[in-house]
């Protein structure tokens, strides 16, 4: 049962692993461009292990943003994982606290989506299935990030490889715009962020994001 769950998890996660490699490579390149040493780049990757927030933090560090702005932005991006934690919690209810901490650490968008989808349709050993999925993603992410750090150090800056970072975010942003309220949130957030690009402590980013969320809620309220 446990072995079956491990094998099934590894098999199901395979296509996802292919998709995260370019993302992780960019995260590694971004770390080296932001001036992180190899241990620092891998420290960020291992301890935070959340791609979008890593990239956001690195791009702000490269732009010499304030410490608080970097932390606030990176943590805000990870807030969505509270929802994943809430929907996985009932499935992990019987396990010891140590196990639940171990399962919480590698939680990602992909591990959440795949596991919940599988739990709903079949009676797999939950712990080992999730363990295989989440830590396979983790392992591939770390290796590809390391490769990106080494690669990034060798590429001349005239290539503008840093532009891959906003491109990754674009690839995440576009599917996040699911309807009119989301589009309104994105437009308002972007407009304020551009207008406030020179505000101290990257306030343009934070004010823009908060205004965007507010506008999204308001527009969604109108349409209900």
Q: Using CB under 8 A, which residues numbered 101 to 130 contact other proteins?
A: 101, 103-105, 107
Q: What are phi and psi of 123, to 5 degrees?
A: -100, 65
- Give the nearer residue to other proteins in terms of CB position, either 10 or 213: 213
When binding is defined by CB under 8 A, the residue of 113, 117, 139, 176 that contacts other proteins is 176
Six-digit token pair at 133?
């999925």
What residues between 49 and 68 interact with other proteins by CB under 8 A? 49-50, 52-53, 56-57, 59, 61, 64-67
Q: Are 78 and 65 in contact (CB under 8 A)?
A: no
Chain-centre distance of CA 145, in angstroms?
Answer: 14
Residues numbered 5 to 24 that lie near other proteins (CB under 8 A) are 19, 21-23
Q: Which stretch binds other proteins (CB under 8 A): 8-16, 117-125, 142-150, 179-187?
A: 179-187
Number of H helices, E strands in the chain: 11, 0
Residue from 81, 147, 150, 153 in contact with other proteins (CB under 8 A):
81
Any contact of residue 187 with other proteins (CB under 8 A)?
A: yes
Q: Which residues contact 67 (CB under 8 A, 6 or more apart)?
A: none
* Binding residue for other proteins, selected from 6, 150, 151, 172, defined by CB under 8 A: 172
Residue number with CB closer to other proteins (65 or 133): 65
Q: Which of 13, 114, 124, 193 binds other proteins (CB under 8 A)?
A: 193
Number of amino acids touching other proteins (CB under 8 A): 97
Under 8 Å between Cβ of 29 and 22: no
**Site membership for other proteins, residue 203 (CB under 8 A):** no
Q: Does 204 bind other proteins (CB under 8 A)?
A: yes
CA angle 109, 28, 47 (to 5 degrees): 55
Indicate which single residue of 90, 121, 156, 223 sits in contact with other proteins (rule: CB under 8 A).
Answer: 90
Q: What residues have CB less than 8 Å from 43, skipping those under 6 apart?
A: none
The Cα–Cα gap between 106 and 137 comes to 8
> Can you read off the two tokens belonging to residue 102?
């171990």
């Amino acid at each position: 049962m446990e072995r079956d769950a491990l094998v099934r998890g590894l098999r199901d996660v395979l296509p996802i692993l292919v998709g995260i490699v370019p993302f992780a490579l960019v995260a590694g390149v971004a770390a080296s461009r932001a001036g992180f040493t190899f241990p620092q780049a891998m420290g960020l990757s291992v301890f935070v292990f959340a791609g979008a927030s890593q990239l956001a933090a690195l791009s702000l560090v490269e732009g010499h943003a304030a410490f608080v702005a970097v932390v606030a932005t990176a943590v805000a991006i990870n807030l969505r994982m509270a929802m994943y934690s809430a929907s996985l919690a009932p499935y992990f209810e019987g396990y010891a606290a140590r196990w639940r901490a171990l399962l919480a650490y590698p939680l990602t968008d992909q591990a959440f989506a795949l596991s919940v989808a599988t739990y709903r349709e079949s009676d797999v050993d939950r712990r080992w299935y999730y363990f295989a999925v989440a830590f396979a993603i983790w392992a591939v992410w770390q290796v590809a990030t390391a490769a990106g750090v080494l690669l990034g150090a060798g590429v001349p800056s005239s290539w503008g490889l840093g532009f891959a970072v906003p491109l990754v975010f674009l690839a995440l942003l576009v599917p996040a715009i699911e309807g009119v309220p989301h589009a309104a949130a994105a437009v308002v957030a972007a407009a304020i962020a551009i207008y406030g690009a020179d505000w101290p402590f990257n306030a343009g980013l934070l004010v823009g994001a908060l205004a965007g969320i507010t506008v999204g809620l308001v527009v969604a309220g109108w349409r209900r």
